[in-house]
Amino acid sequence: MNGDNTVHQISDDPKTPLLPIQHDTPQTSQSFHSFLISIFTPKNFFILLGPLLCTVICLCVNLDGHAASRNMLAILAWVFAWWMTEAVPMPVTSMSPLFLFPLFGIASADEVAHSYMDDVIALVLGSFILALAVEHYNIHRRLALNVTLLFCGDPLNPPLLLLGICATSAFVSMWMHNVAAAVIMMPVATGILQRLPTGPTRPVVVDKFCRAVVLGVIYSVAIGGMTTLTGTGVNLILVGMWKSYFPEADPIGFNTWFFFGFPLAVLIFFPLWGILCCLYCQRGSGSVLSTYLDKAHLKRELEMLGPMAFAEKMVMAVFSVRCFNYNFLESYVKKSWHCVCVN
């Protein structure tokens, strides 16, 4: 074939290679240059930044001869550099003390591993697992329809519907971490808001009610998290610090905190609901919203979900048993787990 293109004809000789052999000239300088470019990347620099800061602190910082304090500061700089730059995945950064603390003589591997399975960590982990199960089996969608039907009113009463959404968010946040509760309740809120019109032609009344629902869910989750120890991480941190700094004092139990936090949350919740109603629930908004939130349509959609599956019932059973144990079997469960851990 004429031209620059070359056609490689297939030969009958079995020793002839199937693919043509290309004899390229060595390009050592270009390969070395690309090799350097592949190494000196921002991500690799950020990965080395943590150990580099740690080395500088260990060699140059002197905290009155306290080697353990200096090493701890070096580890903090290492972990902070990885955390801020996200040079490595977050799980790797969070687990780095497992090898850094024994390496620098801060604590043994057994002590560090025991801290990762502390009661506080286990409570937060359990809350997130339960939230994922609720979302996986679409229990939040069933909850959204039931809440809307229960508090919708006939005719539609927007303040009453807002109260139902906020109260449900606060109740869910009482029994699991507030971040996990927000993950569950935001799809519930959006499931209600998706029935309302969107776009620039949306009425002002509908726009304000949407804002009230979103703000109500967020603030109610935070308020509900105040009532129990599992509601927010700050409460659990307080329990851990109380147990560490005051070992001889009575521990802060679930019921003790509940009797302190629940009245305070109620005092904050109802003024919040009143403020949202005054700002975003105008008079006559019920007639506008009733066009989109029809009870008959909601009932039909709830019937389309069908009866609760076995997995949904088991998730609800686990949630109920969890609430019961927190309130009535707290001391027994703690003693049982303590015996298991000791043995």
Residues 147 and 274 both lie in one domain: yes
Q: Span 252-277, mean pLDDT? A: 90
pLDDT 10s digits, 71-128: 899 999 999 999 998 888 888 898 888 889 998 888 888 888 888 877 767 777 777 7
Question: In which domain, by residue range, is 183 found?
Answer: 119-342
Residues 142 and 86 both lie in one domain: no
Q: Is 89 contained in some domain?
A: yes
Q: Is 20 contained in some domain?
A: no
Residues 92 and 144 both lie in one domain: no
Residues 85 and 139 both lie in one domain: no
Q: Specify which of 36-50, 61-75, 168-182, 215-229 reaches the highest per-range mean pLDDT.
A: 215-229
Q: Is 14 contained in some domain?
A: no
Number of neighbours of residue 84 by Cβ within 10 angstroms: 12
Cα(72)–Cα(80) distance, rounded to whole angstroms? 12
Lowest mean pLDDT among 265-274, 281-290, 319-328: 319-328
pLDDT 10s digits, 329-343: 555 445 544 444 444
Residues 101 and 162 both lie in one domain: no
Cα(10)–Cα(19) distance, rounded to whole angstroms? 9
Residues 149 and 43 both lie in one domain: no
pLDDT of residue 274: 93
Q: Domain end: 107, 138, 163, which one?
A: 107
Q: How confident is the model at residue 16 (pLDDT cuts 50, 70, 90)?
A: low
Residue with more model confidence, 129 or 56: 56
Q: Which stretches within 194-294 are classed as H helix?
A: 204-224, 233-245, 254-280, 285-289
Q: Is 210 contained in some domain?
A: yes
Cα(177)–Cα(331) distance, rounded to whole angstroms? 21
Nearest to 104 by CA among 72, 63, 60, 66: 72
Q: Is 79 contained in some domain?
A: yes
Residues 226 and 265 both lie in one domain: yes
Q: Domain end: 84, 107, 130, which one?
A: 107
How many domains does the chain divide into?
A: 2
| pLDDT at 10 exceeding the cut of 60 | no
Q: Is 13 contained in some domain?
A: no
One-letter amino acid identity for 75? I
Torsion of the alpha carbons at 92, 95, 98 and 101, rounded to the nearest 10: 90
Residues 94 and 215 both lie in one domain: no
Q: Is 2 contained in some domain?
A: no
Q: Is 60 exposed, middle or buried (0-12, 13-18, 19+ CB in 10 A)?
A: exposed
Residues 101 and 137 both lie in one domain: no
pLDDT of residue 215: 93
| pLDDT at 26 exceeding the cut of 60 | no
Residues 126 and 97 both lie in one domain: no
What secondary structure letter does DSSP report for 3? S
pLDDT of residue 265: 93
pLDDT of residue 33: 66
pLDDT of residue 7: 47
Q: Span 220-248, mean pLDDT? A: 84
Q: Is pTM beyond 0.75 here?
A: no
Q: Domain end: 74, 107, 140, which one?
A: 107
pLDDT 10s digits, 268-285: 999 999 999 999 887 777
Q: Is 78 contained in some domain?
A: yes
Residues 79 and 163 both lie in one domain: no
Cα(180)–Cα(129) distance, rounded to whole angstroms? 9
Q: Span 309-325, mean pLDDT? A: 83
Residues 88 and 206 both lie in one domain: no
